[in-house]
């Protein structure tokens, strides 16, 4: 079953912060986060594995709440280059495949 992302879209000014959420109805082993620019391939941001950890990548970080079957992606002091559509992909224990959310479109204005 497809994870649910929220919000579906968000518009920010450069320098503002954003949070994107990803919720699943199933127990999760992994959560992947990707960013896709229009017409291009998704680019990997980070993976979080079962264990409730938090990871960081420059000014982009994420958390994974295993109990709530949720992950959140945090973008701080957003830059114009952060614009794009963000997807979470969720994986279950023992499964090879991912199931992706519908995406969150992030627009950063100057």
Partner 1 sequence: DGGITQSPKYLFRKEGQNVTLSCEQNLNHDAMYWYRQDPGQGLRLIYYSQIVNDFQKGDIAEGYSVSREKKESFPLTVTSAQKNPTAFYLCASSITTGGSGYEQYFGPGTRLTVT
Interface ranges with partner 1 (CB under 8 A): 2, 29-30, 32, 34, 39-44, 47, 49, 87, 89-103
Q: Choose between 13 and 41: whose C-beta lies nearer to partner 1.
A: 41
From CA 72, how far away is CA 67, in angstroms rounded?
13
Q: Choose between 8 and 77: whose C-beta lies nearer to partner 1.
A: 8
Nearest approach, Cβ of residue 15 and partner 1 (Å): 27
Nearest approach, Cβ of residue 18 and partner 1 (Å): 19
Contact 10, 107 (CB under 8 A): yes
Nearest approach, Cβ of residue 94 and partner 1 (Å): 6
Contact 35, 20 (CB under 8 A): no
81 phi and psi, to 5 degrees? -70, -10
């Amino acid at each position: 079953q497809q994870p649910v992302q929220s919000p579906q879209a968000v518009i920010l000014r450069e320098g503002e912060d954003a949070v994107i959420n990803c919720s699943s109805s199933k127990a999760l082993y992994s959560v992947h986060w990707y960013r896709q620019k229009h017409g291009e391939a998704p680019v990997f941001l980070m993976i979080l594995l079962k264990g409730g950890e938090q990871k960081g990548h420059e000014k982009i970080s994420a958390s994974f709440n295993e109990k709530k079957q949720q992950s959140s992606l945090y973008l701080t002091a957003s830059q114009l280059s952060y614009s794009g559509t963000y997807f979470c992909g969720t994986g279950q224990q023992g499964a090879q495949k991912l199931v992706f959310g519908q995406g969150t479109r992030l627009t950063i204005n100057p």
